[in-house]
């Protein structure tokens, strides 16, 4: 047992600078054995830089990290033997077939030929690519490539799996299929998964615990339920017609709770008392002479958590149609 | 044993990278053959000029050059493929594996050498069909192919070094026409005894001349160990220089991550 007391990933004051730019500004992390840990943040927040340090591809400027019980700088080889990595920007050779790539990956991990072949076939079946295994990867769809990438990262049965934005660019159906595979892998294999994502819904549905990163710093950490509970009451969002008096609307809403920054044409408030107060809000708006185009009551989500922690919304966090896709 | 298996697997991938990409393999394979066909037709009568070494045909005189020319083309593809790996991120995938860092380099260079060897055999097979006589027989064919493989490994290493420094496939492909200029200012296409002036001086100092002449001797006159060793020494020198450059370039690229 080389993992540090059930914590396969531990980072302490991890910093990475590129010249004068500080991409990661002192991150502390602890990931527990067997959990799916979500690392949520917008583009450029420092997610991929953190993953690259944890997977030994980049040396930290300061601080230290241990993965699978090994120091990422001093024992980089041991770390690489213990982890599986599916990087967002690591291509899969389009000229090779899925089966050839799995065999190559097995060889790179020092797995004996017959064992590598056996594991490769099993993984192809697991990710549903057996029929396409002898086709060149260049002919695969985006979803098939990501599934193959997942299989490649698992060939050596790693203790810890790093998935860097595994569903970016995928259609909702492929995304949902990949989520199911990650869940199954975690549930049945007990693999610890470190998942970076810019999609709040992905983090919400997959991860047992989440750290939210913004501008190189972790701004919130906890289970999805804990994080949302910190936000508190649901948000009531009022859509206004083009000629409506937004100031009058904001004034009318003030008595119902704390205002929330919103897009132009909308006013929002953290609704004290929850859904039971919606009718009172409607009456107050009417009495103030404010025309309303729509009302939406929204229970807190991770975007609200992000907003509360950083003062701005998570760009690109919208991820529509996933419920439909998951239901298929 | 594991490291050797890893080198072989990455070498195999390098070969696959080249042979499954028609834009890489067709020019590399066909251009030297086309040049061979044209020069054999155009310069055949030059073999009767006094001072020209005794040969059956210009084809026999120039075939060793064609083999080396093909090896050079194929080797440049090794560099371009490495740059593509860097651009696409496959290089990152290799770095994330526990395979030795050197295997990335050795695999790519092994692939270039294998292609250089088999391409050489293929050129001989085709030209023999068109009437070529190899005085040194099968052994001469193998000696020329082994030298071509060594040159391919050397030039492939230089191309890989360039790829590791620039990370750009276009830069690699743009830089290597100079290589072919180097081949032209040698005795690759004409005997040195019939040259004059500065061109003869340059060709005499050009190590390519001595390599090609050593290989040519096996084809037009028969086996000669001393001539072959000169050719192999030049090829080996290119390999040593190239591989050192590539090793340093890889170390430099890895150091950027520190």
A90/B92 Cβ within 8 A: yes
Counting every residue written for chain B, the total comes to 258
Residues of B in contact with A91 (CB under 8 A): 88-90, 93
User: Alpha-carbon torsion A249, A254, A256, A260, what sign?
Assistant: positive
pLDDT greater than 90 at residue B73: no
B98/A77 Cβ within 8 A: yes
pLDDT greater than 50 at residue B38: yes
Res A116: pLDDT? 93
The pTM (predicted TM-score) of the whole model is 0.81
A202-206: long-range contacts, CB 8 A cutoff, minimum separation 24: A202/A38, A202/A167, A202/A175, A202/A319, A203/A38, A203/A40, A203/A302, A204/A301, A204/A302, A205/A179, A205/A322, A206/A36, A206/A38, A206/A179, A206/A182
pLDDT greater than 80 at residue A320: no
Res A2: pLDDT? 46
Res A172: pLDDT? 84
A81/B10 Cβ within 8 A: no
Res A264: pLDDT? 85
B11-31 average pLDDT score = 86
Which of A91-100, B9-18, B97-106, B238-247 ranks highest by mean pLDDT?
B238-247
Res A1: pLDDT? 44
Res A5: pLDDT? 62
Measured CA to CA, the distance from residue A106 to residue B97 in angstroms comes to 10
pLDDT tens by residue, B141-187: 999 999 999 999 999 999 999 999 998 888 887 877 777 788 889 99
pLDDT tens by residue, A143-158: 898 889 989 999 998 9
Say which of A93, A113, A136 has its CB closest to residue B90.
A93
Res B207: pLDDT? 94
pLDDT confidence band for A227 (50 / 70 / 90): confident
pLDDT tens by residue, B206-232: 999 999 999 999 999 999 999 999 999
pLDDT tens by residue, A121-136: 999 988 889 999 999 9
ipTM of predicted complex: 0.84
Measured CA to CA, the distance from residue A219 to residue A229 in angstroms comes to 15
A23-28 average pLDDT score = 95
A93/B9 Cβ within 8 A: no
A96/B16 Cβ within 8 A: yes
Distance from CA of B248 to the nearest CA of A (A): 19
Say which of A89, A104, A108 has its CB closest to residue B92.
A89
pLDDT confidence band for A194 (50 / 70 / 90): very high
pLDDT greater than 50 at residue A323: no
Optimal mutation site among A67, A95, A97, A98, interface B, most CBs of chain B within 10 A? A95
Q: Locate A45 and state its tokens.
A: 């927040």
A77-82 average pLDDT score = 93
* Chain A residue with the nearest C-alpha to that of B89: A90
* Chain B residue with the nearest C-alpha to that of A85: B96
Give the residue, A221 or B23, on which the prediction is more confident: A221
Residues of B in contact with A77 (CB under 8 A): 98
Say which of B9, B90, B96 has its CB closest to residue A57.
B96
Distance from CA of B103 to the nearest CA of A (A): 9
Q: Locate A305 and state its tokens.
A: 């958590």
């Amino acid at each position: 047992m080389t993992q540090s007391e059930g914590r396969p990933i531990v980072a302490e004051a991890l910093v990475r600078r590129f010249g004068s730019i500080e991409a990661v500004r002192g991150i502390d992390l602890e990931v527990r054995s067997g959990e799916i840990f979500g690392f949520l943040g917008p583009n450029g927040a420092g997610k991929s830089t953190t993953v690259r340090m944890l997977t030994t591809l980049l040396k930290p400027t300061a601080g230290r990290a241990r993965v699978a019980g090994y120091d990422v700088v001093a024992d980089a080889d041991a770390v690489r033997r213990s982890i599986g990595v599916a990087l967002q920007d690591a291509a899969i050779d389009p000229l090779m077939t899925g089966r050839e790539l799995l065999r190559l990956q097995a060889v790179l991990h020092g797995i004996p030929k017959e064992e590598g072949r056996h594991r490769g076939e099993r993984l192809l079946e697991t990710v549903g690519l057996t029929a396409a295994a002898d086709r060149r990867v260049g002919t695969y769809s985006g979803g098939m490539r990501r599934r193959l990438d997942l299989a490649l990262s698992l060939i050596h049965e790693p203790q810890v799996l790093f998935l860097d934005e595994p569903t970016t660019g995928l259609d909702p159906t492929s995304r949902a299929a990949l989520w199911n595979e990650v869940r199954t892998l975690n549930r049945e294999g007990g693999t610890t998964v470190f998942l970076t994502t810019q999609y709040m819904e992905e983090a919400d549905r997959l991860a047992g615990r989440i750290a939210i990163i913004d501008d190189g710093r972790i701004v919130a950490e906890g289970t999805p339920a804990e994080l949302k509970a910190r936000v508190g009451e649901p948000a009531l969002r009022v859509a206004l017609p083009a000629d409506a008096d937004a100031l009058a609307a904001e004034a009318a809403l003030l008595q119902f709770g704390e205002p929330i920054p919103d897009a132009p044409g909308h006013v929002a408030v953290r609704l004290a008392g929850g859904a039971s107060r919606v009718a009172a809000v409607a009456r107050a708006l009417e009495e103030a002479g404010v025309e309303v185009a729509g009302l939406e009551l929204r229970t807190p989500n991770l975007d609200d958590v992000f907003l509360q922690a950083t003062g701005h919304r998570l760009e690109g966090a919208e991820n529509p149609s996933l419920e439909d896709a998951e239901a298929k | 044993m594991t490291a050797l298996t890893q080198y072989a697997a990455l070498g195999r991938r390098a070969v696959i990278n080249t042979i499954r990409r028609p834009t890489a393999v067709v020019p590399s394979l066909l251009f030297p053959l086309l040049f061979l066909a044209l020069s054999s037709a155009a310069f055949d009568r030059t073999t009767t000029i006094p001072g020209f070494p005794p040969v059956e045909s210009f084809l026999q005189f120039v075939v060793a050059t064609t083999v080396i020319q093909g090896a050079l083309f194929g080797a440049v593809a090794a560099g371009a493929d490495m740059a593509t790996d860097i651009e696409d991120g496959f290089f990152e995938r290799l770095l994330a594996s526990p395979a030795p860092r050197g295997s990335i380099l050795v695999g790519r260079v092994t692939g270039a050498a294998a292609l250089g060897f088999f391409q050489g055999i293929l050129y001989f097979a085709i030209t023999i069909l068109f009437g070529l006589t190899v005085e040194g027989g099968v052994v001469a064919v193998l000696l020329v192919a082994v030298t071509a493989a060594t040159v391919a490994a050397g030039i492939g290493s230089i191309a890989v070094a360039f790829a590791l420094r620039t990370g750009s496939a276009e830069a690699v492909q743009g830089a290597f026409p100079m290589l072919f200029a180097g081949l032209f200012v040698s005795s690759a296409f004409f005997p040195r005894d019939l040259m004059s002036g500065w061109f003869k001086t340059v060709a005499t100092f050009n190590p390519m001349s001595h390599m090609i002449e050593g290989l040519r001797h096996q084809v037009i006159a028969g086996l000669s160990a001393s001539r072959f060793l000169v050719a192999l020494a030049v090829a080996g020198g290119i390999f040593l220089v190239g591989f050192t450059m590539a090793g340093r370039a890889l170390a430099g690229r890895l150091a950027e991550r520190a």
